[in-house]
Amino acid sequence: MRPVTLEDVKKNPVFQTLIKEADDFLEALGYTEHGFRHANLVASIATNIFKRLGKSERESELAGIAGYLHDLGNLTGREGHPSSGAILAFQILTSMGMELEEVAKIMVAISNHDEPTGFPASDLTSAVILADKSDVHRSRVRLQDPSKFDIHDRVNYAVTNSFLRVHPPEITLELTVDTGIGSVMDYFEISFERLIMCRKAAEFLGCEFHLNINNTRIW
């Protein structure tokens, strides 16, 4: 039997339905976008991290799958969503015929991708953490009226460009921030814990983590 690919996962109707419903639920709660746009982007970034680090094609594929599925657990609520997402992924991926060892690695990555309890305990987990936390951008904001923005909406809307540059031994998150909309301090207020996770994840991968905002190195 051939290995389960990222394309197989994206085409799976069960995953499609769960990701859509999870994002619809978060929208009702007032959260920024966590749907197919976010899933595809995190999958792409995680894959790129592994490729830039010289990982094998299969390892890079698994990074993409873990990135694509990392927020699956939002279907059951934000609290505990990494653990519930890992369980859902286990059930569906095994039914698709994925090897158990690969499923287990993906479960570890999904269950440890988020603060405050997540920990970069593997290369795969570290790649997903970095990919997930680097997705800050105005396209994630759902509200059309800026007067109704909370700080998360304001910070995301202020970021007009974001890019995770992987150039071993450095991994740098590059942001362009419109400070007329949201300040750099606003970004740090909601992101400091995430940045600590990124630093630990980069270190696990044998790299240094840096943050550039408006062409200035902040970290």
Predicted confidence (pLDDT) per residue in 167-209, tens digit: 999 999 999 999 999 999 999 999 999 999 999 999 999 999 9
Q: For residue 62, which of 87, 31, 32, 99 has the smallest C-alpha distance?
A: 99
Q: Are 174 and 212 in contact (CB under 8 A)?
A: yes
Per-residue pLDDT, averaged over 19-24, amounts to 97
User: What single string gives the DSSP state of each residue in 58-117?
Assistant: HHHHHHHHHHHHTTGGGGG-STTHHHHHHHHHHHHHHHTT--HHHHHHHHHHHHTSSTTT
Looking at residue 147, its pLDDT comes to 86
d(CA 53, CA 61): 13
Q: What is the mean pLDDT of the chain?
A: 96
Structurally, the chain folds into a number of domains equal to: 1
Does 86 fall in a domain? yes
Does 97 fall in a domain? yes
Per-residue pLDDT, averaged over 90-109, amounts to 98
Does 209 fall in a domain? yes
Per-residue pLDDT at 145 exceeds 90 = no
Does 189 fall in a domain? yes
Q: At what angle do helices 100-111 and 81-95 cross, to 10 degrees?
A: 160
Does 12 fall in a domain? yes
Does 1 fall in a domain? no
Report the predicted TM-score, pTM, of the whole model to 2 decimal places.
Answer: 0.96
User: Which tokens belong to 154?
Assistant: 């304001």
Looking at residue 194, its pLDDT comes to 95
Does 41 fall in a domain? yes
The range of the structural domain enclosing residue 65 comes to: 6-217
CATH number for the domain spanning 194: value is: 1.10.3210
d(CA 115, CA 112): 8
Q: For residue 113, which of 155, 172, 69 has the smallest C-alpha distance?
A: 69
